[in-house]
């Protein structure tokens, strides 16, 4: 849920999610469309489908218990390096490097003397963190957490608080005089307003908030832009976020079609 989404938006959704589905088997027993519905406005709703698929796999292959081994975690749908290692380390106390954007930035500055990290590379980044990780398992867990906090709160991207940094005396970037000429250029994120991503969100919300499957006419009223409508609807169907009922109306995946005809045709 936290991928590309601020914590303040995630916390209430997480609380609702865990109240409804406290265990993986609870989520797995429900339709994937219910996961999409509960996702609401978090954005990137394919993550909801992946979470549901992940819960199903945990039930089928691990008897409903989230595995503690990195390789087992990586075998689950939608689970990448960061999530697998974070679960193994912070939930189960395993020794493994955990690398996020903040950790990459701290290593780039404090160890390599660069103003920011280069483009992500899982092999390079994990090796760099592993080289710093204490051998003791408990210490390694604390070190992982400390590096993440250091990057999030002190060694920030735009306004690093070098005067209060606990590693300032050994920081290679500080010793070099804080050069800025090597800062990696980040791609500018496309505007959300008027984008196909916004169009997908409009159509998905129209179906998600309805009490019964929704007809194409109603969806076109929600999104009059003809070009974006076609692309958005095709994308939602291709990604499995919507499915077409036998009568031609649209619904969330896995949900039985309502016999009600109250939704628009």
Each domain of the chain, given as residue ranges in start order, spans 7-66, 101-175, 196-251
Residues 169-183: what's their mean pLDDT? Answer: 83
Contacts of 244 (CB under 8 A, 6+ apart): 237, 250, 251
Nearest to 255 by CA among 55, 18, 59, 35: 35
CATH topology for 7-66 is: Endonuclease III; domain 1 (1.10.340)
User: For residue 259, what pLDDT is reported?
Assistant: 37
Say whether 101-175 and 7-66 share the same fold.
no
Q: Which of 58-67, 94-103, 129-138, 173-182 has the lowest mean pLDDT?
A: 173-182
User: For residue 214, what pLDDT is reported?
Assistant: 96
Q: Which CATH class is domain 101-175?
A: mainly alpha
Coil, strand, or helix at residue 177? coil
Percent of residues, the chain, with pLDDT higher than 70: 93
User: For residue 264, what pLDDT is reported?
Assistant: 42
pLDDT digit string, tens, across residues 70-120: 999 999 999 999 999 999 999 999 999 999 999 999 999 999 999 999 999
Residues 187-210: what's their mean pLDDT? Answer: 87
User: For residue 180, what pLDDT is reported?
Assistant: 76
């Amino acid at each position: 849920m936290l991928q590309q989404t601020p914590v303040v938006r995630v916390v209430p959704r997480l609380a609702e999610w865990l109240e409804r589905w406290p265990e993986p088997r609870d989520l797995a027993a429900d339709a994937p469309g219910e996961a999409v519905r509960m996702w609401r406005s978090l954005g990137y709703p394919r993550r909801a489908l992946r979470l549901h698929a992940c819960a199903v796999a945990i039930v089928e292959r691990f008897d409903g218990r989230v595995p503690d081994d990195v390789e087992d975690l990586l075998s689950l749908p939608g689970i990448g390096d960061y999530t697998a290692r974070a679960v193994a380390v912070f939930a189960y106390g395993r020794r493994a490097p955990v690398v996020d954007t903040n950790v990459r930035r701290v290593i780039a500055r404090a160890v390599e003397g660069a103003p920011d990290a280069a483009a992500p590379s899982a092999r390079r980044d994990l090796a760099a963190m592993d080289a710093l990780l204490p051998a003791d398992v408990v210490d390694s867990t604390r070190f992982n957490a400390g590096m993440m906090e250091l990057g999030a709160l002190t060694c920030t991207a735009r306004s690093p608080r070098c005067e209060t940094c606990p590693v300032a005396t050994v920081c290679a970037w500080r010793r070099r005089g804080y050069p800025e000429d090597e800062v990696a250029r980040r791609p500018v994120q496309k505007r959300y307003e008027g984008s196909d991503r916004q169009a997908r969100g409009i159509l998905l919300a129209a179906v998600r908030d309805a009490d019964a499957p929704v007809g194409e006419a109603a969806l076109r009223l929600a999104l009059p832009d003809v070009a974006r409508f076609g692309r958005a609807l095709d994308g939602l169907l291709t990604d499995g976020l919507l499915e077409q009922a036998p009568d031609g109306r649209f619904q969330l995946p896995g949900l039985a079609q309502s016999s009600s005809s109250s939704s628009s045709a």
